[in-house]
Structure formats: structure tokens, C-alpha cells
Structure 1
Amino acid sequence: MSKELKFGVPKGSLENATVELFKKAGWKITVHSRNYFPSIDDEEMNCKLIRPQEMSKYVERGTIDVGIAGRDWVRENDSDVIEVCEMVYSKVSRRPARWVLVVTGDSKVQKPEDLAGTTISTELVGFTKRYFAERNIPVNVEFSWGATEAKVVDGLCEAIVEVTETGSTIKANGLRIVSELMESVPVMIVNQAAWADPWKRGKIERIATMLQSALSAEGMVGLTLNAPGDKVEAITKVLPSLNNPTVSHLFNSDWVSIESILPEKEVRHIVPELMELGAEGIVEYPLNKII
């Protein structure tokens, strides 16, 4: 019987970024518009599209072996799964999502304890209930179907637990953050049984390695150039690198070839400096992976 790994692709905001990341890592996932079963060019893998909010539940029960979801929804479901690695997509955001406790700007609440006996509205009901229960703060937590900020503005609850990155929208609505309850980033999760299976664990670890290498390459480029031999020290001081730049002598020449890896945003500043130091034949090239 052939081996198969069941993989959950997150449907929604992470979907396109996940497909693109897998492509850079070496796998082609094709999402079909009329079903929830993407195809993948790996006979050892079977993919399903699953909402991140539900991913950890399906991973835990073994419907799928491994998937990608926000850490917030893993904690919301209180799922007994193993976190393999973080998957921080720059195509989505490099900032963690922050779940914060929020009140109106004129509220007298200064700390979570001040909310004892009140009602809190949120999408993250399970996590919020546990957060307050662990601190022995009696509150009533209600599920919000959306427009959560409006509920506290309209007086339908005394506070909300809402997700934000910068907090700018919360401030724009005249609200105030009391405290931060949790930070969340996308994570790859696996169920206990799959992790205990040597073949599946090996497959998952190889996938994680390649995905991480593709993530490491985001925003990075390679740069190669030729330079006079007596300018090597000056150029290498200007040129950043993951390690030391690679320097090799050109055949029958006093010139050298220098190769380095650096953030793409720095190229526009560095190339003019390299040219002033006598560098020629400067070539910038994209990177898919850094291992």
C-alpha cells in the first residue's frame, strides 16, 4: 500500500500565499474553483481546502495529518496538536496578529480585573473564556458574528476581544486597548498519530524544511559583480551578506568575482557605491530558497 500524507491548505486570506510558497519550495498546488480538493504534483500527498478556524480540529481528529492555520485558532479550539514551525508569510504580513482586550475611550476599565461581572463580545470565545477563568475573573463571553467593535460602541457589551496588527482602526473608532491577550502567526500543525509515524514525520519535516527555506528567501536577492583585486576589502565592507561574500579570482586577471546575498531593498543604495568603487558587471538575481 502506498504512503500518503493528508495536507490541509488554509482557505481564505492565507490560501494564495500558501500556494505561492509551495511553488517556491518545489510543489505545484492547483486549486480548482468548484471543489475543495486541490491537486498537487506529489503522489505522496493529498490536499484539502479547510478554513483556518477549523484546521486544528480536523488535524487533531486525524481527518488530515498536517495543515497550516493561525496559532490563535489552534488555541481557540484548544487542540491537542504539535506545532512544527511558524510560517510567517511576508505576502500577508510580517507583523503578528494581536488579540487585544478593548473598551470605549471613556471607560473606567484599566485592567482585565475591572471587567468582573460584565459581558465581553468576541469571535474567540473559547480562548477568552479560558483566559479570564485562569485569572478567576467572572465574565460573560458572547460570540460575535462580526462588526465586533460596533457592539462595544453601541453599549451591547462592556468590552470586546478583537484582532489587530497596529491598533490604528481601534483608535480611529474611539476605542482603547486595555491589554494584549495573545500574539498569533500562521503555524504548521500535525496530529499526534502522524508525528509518531516515522514515514509521515520524515515527510512533514522535509516539507517544513523546504517551506522555511522559501520563506527565508523572501525579500532577499543574490548579487554578483566583478571588481579590481585591490578593491576587494573596500567592496566587502560595503556589501552585506548572510555570511562573508564569496570572492574568486578571474582567470588570467587581477580582477575578482564577488557574490553575496542581501535584502532586495538595500540594492538600490549599495549598487551606486559599488560602481564608485570600480565594480562592473553587476548582476542581481532572484532567490527561491535559502537553506
Structure 2
Amino acid sequence: MSDQTAQPAASAAVVHLALPKGRMQDNVLKLLGDAGIRLNFDRRGYRPTLSLPGFETKLLKPQNIVEMLHVGSRDVGFAGADWVAEKEVELVELLDTGLDQVRIVGACEPSFLEDGRPRPGPFLVATEYERLTRRWLEREGLEGRVVRTYGATEVFPPEDADCIVDNTSTGATLKANGLTIFAELLRSSTRMYAHPKSLDDPAKREVIEHLVLLVRSVLDARKRVMVEINVPPEALETLVGILPSMRYPTVSPLHAGTGFAVKAAVPRDGLPTLIAQIKAAGGTDIVVFDIAQIVP
């Protein structure tokens, strides 16, 4: 495969890219690395240089990325959908990486609930998500008053708050603190966003779309594996008919006309069932290997 990190048409545009610092950082940097994009960090570690031309890059907290995209000091960046919803900003979602999936939930000690809902009357909610929480309270007709937290929200009940609204991936931290989930406000993941006006600039848009292409190529490749199979001539059409390839499988003749080698990129999650079907159709010598990138 050709080097997909090569920039398309030459352009004088500089795109200001924001990468997340903290919990999301490792997954996003690995995603870029798998796309062939190398990062060289400065002494302080906040302004890495990309091997992909056309970008000026800075590491920021995800909440700040959302704000900087909103005001236009950053053109494109990675952030959680929860903070875009919390900040109530209008950004263009370029793609959902599916990474760092979390739920924004309401949680409390079981004694606070009546029939699965907060008991009637005024109560206190501790959260980092003030706007999301207020919208939820209004939507549900609940008399909650919001107290802003700055991390470790799960420790507030029962002495300092009746319940919390917080993010969770597995619920383990909430459970460890004696809390039970009683409501789900939102589902979130790491996504790539752009400032709307940045996409109105043709030169910047070209650079941004090339980055999206590279990142999507890795995400698409992670969902598939390459399968290579040997098959006798009489079983070729049957085998090709069951392969869920992207377009058409690659078919090559084996030595001395003994059969064919068939190669196809197939969905990873269907592989266990597919292997049984391949064997039943007459396929042999099955080889499965990972794919680095898929570029349409």
C-alpha cells in the first residue's frame, strides 16, 4: 500500500489541531500512529509536531478543546461528545472514533430512590455537567439543585449531595462507592470536530479532509481482518458467494491449476461463524491477519 500520510495538493493553509491531554490522549495518539502520523513533542510536551504537513498542533484538556473550537482558535480537534453537549456549542462532527465510550448517568445511594426515581421534593445534585444536569432535571420534572464539582464526584453522596451526575464506562467506581445508577442522560465517545468556518476555507478543508480520510482508514481497518483461503476449482463460486468482502474478493490461480487462492477483507466480529462456513464450502489453509488501513 502506498504511503497514505503524503499530503495531497500543496497548500499554504495551516490547520490548528487540538489533541486531548489526559484520559483520551493515549487512544488518540495510537490512532494517529496507526495512520502513519508520527508526533515529535517539544520540551514541555504541549506542542507536538506532526509528520503530516499543514498542521500546527497543541495538547489541551477535552473541555478546553471544545471551547477553543467554538471560539475558532482551533480548526479541528478530538473531544468527547459529552463536553460538546455540556458546552452547548455548534461544531461540525467529522467522525466518531468509537473510543473512550462512556455514559453520563445519575447515581445515588439506593435509600434515596422511590420506585427507581429520586424521592419527591428538593434535593442536591453534584456534577461537573451543570447544563446537562439542569436540562435533565427540567425534562424529568425533578426539584434538584445543582452543585458544581471539580473531579471525584462519586464521593459526594450522601453527606454533601443526595445524588450525582457523572460519566462512567463500567460503573465499577460508582459501585465501589455504594452508588447505584438510576438514569442515563447521554452516551459519549471521542469524536473529531471542526469549527464550521474552517470548513468554509477550501485550502483548510482539503487538509482537514485528508486527516479524516487517514483516521477513518484505521477505524475501518480495525473492524475487519484479511482472510486468505485455498479452494479447489469446483468450490470456487460457492466460496466466493459466502465471503462478505468489501467489493469483490481477490482470486489468484494456484500452481499447476490445482485450485485458487482467495483473499478478502471481512468483518472481524463475524469471523468465528465465517470460518466454519468456509470449511463447509471446501476452503482449506485459512490464514487470518490484521489490516493496518483501508482507504476506499
> What TM-score does the superposition give when structure 1 sets the normalisation length?
0.84
- Which secondary structure state, in structure 1, belongs to the residue aligned with residue 257 of structure 2? coil
Measure how far apart 1:285 and its partner are.
3.4
Match of residue 70 from structure 1: 80
How do 1:208-287 residues align onto structure 2 when only pairs under 5 Å count? 208-233=212-237, 235-236=239-240, 239-243=243-247, 245-250=249-254, 253-263=257-267, 277=282, 279-280=284-285, 282-287=286-291
Distance in 1 between residues matched to 2:278 and 2:116, nearest whole Å:
54
Match of residue 8 from structure 2: none
1:131 paired to 2:141: no
The gaps in structure 1 that reach 5 residues or longer are: none
1:150 paired to 2:160: no
Distance 1:19 1:155, change over 3 A: same
Match of residue 9 from structure 1: 19
Measure how far apart 1:261 and its partner are.
1.6
1:35 paired to 2:35: no
Distance in 2 between residues matched to 1:31 and 1:203, nearest whole Å:
21
Identity %: 27
Distance in 2 between residues matched to 1:286 and 1:248, nearest whole Å:
20
2:155 is matched by which residue type in structure 1? A
- Which secondary structure state, in structure 2, belongs to the residue aligned with residue 63 of structure 1? coil
Distance in 2 between residues matched to 1:252 and 1:104, nearest whole Å:
72
Query: Any idea what the Cα deviations from partners look like across 1:203-238, whole Å, max 9, x if unmatched?
Result: 222221221121111153212233211232554467
1:199 paired to 2:209: no
1:88 is matched by which residue type in structure 2? G
How do 1:148-187 residues align onto structure 2 when only pairs under 5 Å count? 148-152=153-157, 154-187=158-191
User: Structure 1 stretch 227-236 or stretch 197-206: which is displaced more?
Assistant: 227-236
- Which secondary structure state, in structure 2, belongs to the residue aligned with residue 88 of structure 1? strand
2:57 is matched by which residue type in structure 1? C
Distance in 2 between residues matched to 1:193 and 1:263, nearest whole Å:
36
- Which secondary structure state, in structure 1, belongs to the residue aligned with residue 197 of structure 2? helix
1:217 is matched by which residue type in structure 2? A
Distance 1:76 1:112, change over 3 A: farther
From 45, 62, 65, the counterpart of 2:55:
45
The gaps in structure 2 that reach 5 residues or longer are: 1-10
Distance 1:130 1:258, change over 3 A: same
Query: Any idea what the Cα deviations from partners look like across 1:171-224, whole Å, max 9, x if unmatched?
Result: 454322221111111111111221221222232222212211211111532122
Distance in 2 between residues matched to 1:99 and 1:171, nearest whole Å:
15
Measure how far apart 1:278 and its partner are.
5.7
Distance 1:23 1:100, change over 3 A: same
Are the equivalent residues in 1 in contact too, given 2:229–2:283 (CA < 8 A)?
no
1:55 paired to 2:65: yes
Distance in 1 between residues matched to 2:152 and 2:72, nearest whole Å:
34
Distance in 1 between residues matched to 2:61 and 2:78, nearest whole Å:
10
1:225 is matched by which residue type in structure 2? I
> What TM-score does the superposition give when structure 2 sets the normalisation length?
0.82
How big is the alpha-carbon RMSD for the aligned residues of Structure 1 and Structure 2? Answer: 2.9
Measure how far apart 1:252 and its partner are.
5.2
